[in-house]
């Protein structure tokens, strides 16, 4: 009897495997990708042979975070740096590692819904701009876009400058000092995002500020824990097993932002009253207001127009804080590390800064930053080699035909491996070498636009990219003016962890030496 059942099962399995075109049996009945015109799927996208069956289910089983990172790079290499399809655990997955597919996916109007990993952020960010989809995303994006208007960026620049000067202050007393960037840079970026997003100075609230910083980093740890433990991917299991470890920290972060929002609202209403009396237009209000503008003000304005409520404001403020904090921290950490290990390039940037920037930094505004071309190339090359956000993902909510004719079934996970796109040898010569000059206009002409996507691209691109570039450049200018940066780590020895932001296993340090 057993033999008959076994034979039957084998025959069924074989039939499904050979004949059924819709489901990939070895991927536990994952729906198959197909082409619109019936051509083989392989003509449009890579399909790794050995990994498309049972093996890819277990390829990462029991591996640590850093090994998963390396594994992803190996698959891309094995696929000849071509985007590829995989099936596993009932899931259909498209992994994008080249500019061609990045362009197709990021421009597809039907691919704006976020993938599984973003649900790990929901306890912290609820359904804010980063996670939201559909009409809600459209209206929130429209609401927040003016926040990064050129005039307002001018006001934020004052915060970047003040915080940068405060950052270097303690080191000016020393001839030379070793610093652990992972310890001190996040303090700087959290201060700036707090002031620009919520209009408060964290350092003025010493105890509360430290509690907030600490809770923020616990939430980050929670994300990494869920990412590396598939049992916690399910919200119910997470709530049952792990949620209690993070509950106090979530409460702390939400309480903090909610209280600030309430306080700011009182001040903002006074300003609105004044606007009504003096008939000031909204734009003038933001530019001329006495108290410095904060992103929160745009949301309070929208609230007074009935477009958003208190809960909505909280989720957007928490989202801006989250998206704008760790990303710029890692950009600065890698940027300063690169300054230390490439002294000639550091000199090039320093000479340019000496030429343009006054000693008292009085002319260091958005316009002047735009003139620092070597620094611009340097920061871009840092973002290319060490993208703060190495992976993003989307999900199809219906069968979706891409512009090249590939049909992705409903619920396909589309992962954009930004790290691999930015090191794809099809688009970058010597991709593992640090060469900022590749971003000079004369060296960029033949490169596809979507080869450089550290801030993503298309309609769901990073809303804060100008903010991030300006903030990173400002701190670098202020540090370079007073210090030479010397190396204390070897970039070749860095081990990366997979996560929502790019992290290294060990801290990154540099030595600051006062310039004479």
Which residues here bind ligand HEM, judged by CB under 6 A?
Answer: 114, 129-130, 141, 319-320, 323-324, 327-328, 331, 388-389, 392, 454-456, 460, 462-464, 467-468
C-alpha 294/C-alpha 200 separation (Å) is 9
In whole angstroms, the minimum distance from the beta carbon of 64 to ligand HEM comes to 25
In whole angstroms, the minimum distance from the beta carbon of 498 to ligand HEM comes to 15
In whole angstroms, the minimum distance from the beta carbon of 421 to ligand HEM comes to 11
What is the DSSP code (8-state) at residue 175? S
In whole angstroms, the minimum distance from the beta carbon of 399 to ligand HEM comes to 22
The residue (of 327 and 497) whose beta carbon lies closer to ligand HEM is 327
Name the residue with tokens 């100008």: 466
Task: Give strand pairing partners of 408.
Answer: 400
The residue (of 27 and 464) whose beta carbon lies closer to ligand HEM is 464
In whole angstroms, the minimum distance from the beta carbon of 450 to ligand HEM comes to 13
The residue (of 295 and 372) whose beta carbon lies closer to ligand HEM is 295
Tokens (6 digits) for 29: 């009945």
SS3 of 194-245? HHHHHCCCHHHHHHHHHHHHHHHHHHHHHHHHHHHCHHHHCHHHHHHHCHHH
C-alpha 10/C-alpha 239 separation (Å) is 40
In whole angstroms, the minimum distance from the beta carbon of 142 to ligand HEM comes to 10
Name the residue with tokens 């080191």: 171
Rounded (10°) CA dihedral 417, 421, 423, 424: 120
What 3-state DSSP class applies to 100? Answer: helix
What is the DSSP code (8-state) at residue 114? B
C-alpha 418/C-alpha 455 separation (Å) is 9
Tokens (6 digits) for 289: 């207001």
Minimal CB distance residue for ligand HEM: 464
Phi, psi torsion values for 211, nearest 5 degrees = -60, -40
Residue 298: partners with Cβ closer than 8 Å, 6 or more residues away:
143, 144, 146, 147, 286
The residue (of 25 and 294) whose beta carbon lies closer to ligand HEM is 294
Task: Give strand pairing partners of 395.
Answer: 413
The residue (of 145 and 403) whose beta carbon lies closer to ligand HEM is 145
How distant is the alpha carbon of residue 250 from its chain centre?
A: 21
The residue (of 246 and 455) whose beta carbon lies closer to ligand HEM is 455
In whole angstroms, the minimum distance from the beta carbon of 133 to ligand HEM comes to 9
The residue (of 44 and 129) whose beta carbon lies closer to ligand HEM is 129
Tokens (6 digits) for 432: 């593992």
In whole angstroms, the minimum distance from the beta carbon of 408 to ligand HEM comes to 17
Tokens (6 digits) for 247: 């509950």
C-alpha 453/C-alpha 461 separation (Å) is 9
SS3 content of the chain, % helix, strand, coil (to 5): 60, 10, 30
The residue (of 389 and 480) whose beta carbon lies closer to ligand HEM is 389
CB-based contact 46:84 (threshold 8 Å):
yes
The residue (of 152 and 463) whose beta carbon lies closer to ligand HEM is 463
The residue (of 106 and 222) whose beta carbon lies closer to ligand HEM is 106
CB-based contact 282:298 (threshold 8 Å):
no
In whole angstroms, the minimum distance from the beta carbon of 228 to ligand HEM comes to 19
Consult the annotation and say whether 462 binds a ligand. Answer: yes
Task: Give strand pairing partners of 401.
Answer: 407
Residue 136: C-alpha distances to residues 132, 144, 331, 475 (Å): 6, 12, 30, 35
Tokens (6 digits) for 453: 């996507």
In whole angstroms, the minimum distance from the beta carbon of 90 to ligand HEM comes to 23
What 3-state DSSP class applies to 88? Answer: strand
List the binding residues for heme: 462
């Amino acid at each position: 009897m057993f033999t008959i059942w076994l034979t039957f099962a084998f025959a069924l399995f074989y039939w499904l495997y050979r004949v059924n075109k819709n489901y990939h049996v070895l991927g536990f009945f994952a729906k198959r990708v197909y082409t619109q015109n019936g051509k083989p799927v392989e003509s449009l996208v890579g399909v790794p042979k050995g990994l498309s069956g049972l093996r890819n289910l277990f390829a990462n089983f029991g591996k640590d975070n850093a090994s998963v990172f390396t594994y992803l790079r190996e698959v891309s290499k094995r696929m000849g740096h071509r985007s590829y399809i995989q099936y596993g655990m009932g899931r259909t997955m498209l992994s994008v590692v080249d500019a061609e597919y990045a362009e197709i996916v990021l421009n597809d109007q039907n691919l704006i819904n976020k993938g599984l990993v973003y649900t790990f952020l929901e306890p912290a960010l609820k359904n804010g701009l980063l996670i939201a989809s559909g009409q809600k995303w459209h209206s929130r994006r429209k609401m927040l876009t003016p926040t990064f208007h050129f005039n307002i960026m001018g006001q934020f620049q004052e915060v970047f400058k003040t915080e940068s000067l405060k950052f270097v202050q303690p080191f000016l007393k020393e001839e030379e000092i070793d610093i652990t960037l992972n310890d001190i840079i996040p303090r700087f970026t959290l201060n700036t995002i707090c002031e620009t997003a919520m209009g408060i100075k964290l350092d003025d609230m010493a105890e509360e500020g430290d509690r907030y910083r600490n809770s923020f980093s616990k939430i980050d740890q929670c994300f990494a824990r869920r990412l590396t433990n598939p049992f916690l991917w399910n919200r119910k299991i997470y709530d049952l097993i792990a949620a209690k470890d993070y509950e106090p920290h979530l409460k702390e972060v939400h309480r903090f932002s909610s209280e600030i929002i309430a306080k700011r609202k009182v001040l903002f209403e006074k300003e609105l009253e004044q606007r009504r009396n003096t008939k000031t237009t909204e734009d003038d209000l933001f530019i001329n207001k006495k108290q410095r503008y904060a992103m929160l003000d745009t949301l309070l304005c929208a609230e007074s127009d009935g477009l958003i409520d208190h809960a909505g404001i909280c989720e957007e403020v928490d989202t801006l804080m989250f998206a704008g904090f760790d990303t710029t921290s890692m950009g600065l950490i890698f940027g300063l590390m690169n300054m230390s290990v490439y002294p000639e390039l550091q000199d090039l940037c320093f000479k340019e800064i000496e030429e343009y920037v006054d000693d008292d930094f009085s002319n260091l505004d958005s316009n002047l930053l735009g003139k620092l071309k070597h620094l611009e190339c340097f920061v871009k090359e840092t973002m290319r080699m060490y993208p703060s956000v190495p992976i993003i993902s989307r999900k199809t909510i219906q069968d979706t035909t891409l512009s090249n004719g590939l049909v992705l079934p409903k619920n396909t996970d589309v992962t954009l491996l930004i790290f691999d796109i930015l090191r794809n040898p099809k688009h970058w010569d010597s991709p593992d070498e640090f060469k900022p000059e590749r971003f000079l206009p004369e060296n960029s002409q033949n490169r596809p636009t979507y080869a450089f996507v550290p801030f993503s691209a298309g309609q769901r691109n990073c809303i804060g990219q100008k903010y991030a570039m300006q903030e990173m450049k400002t701190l670098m200018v202020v540090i370079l003016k007073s210090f030479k940066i010397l190396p204390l780590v070897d970039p070749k020895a860095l081990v990366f962890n997979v996560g929502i932001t790019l992290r290294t296993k060990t801290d990154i340090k540099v030595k600051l030496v006062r310039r004479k």
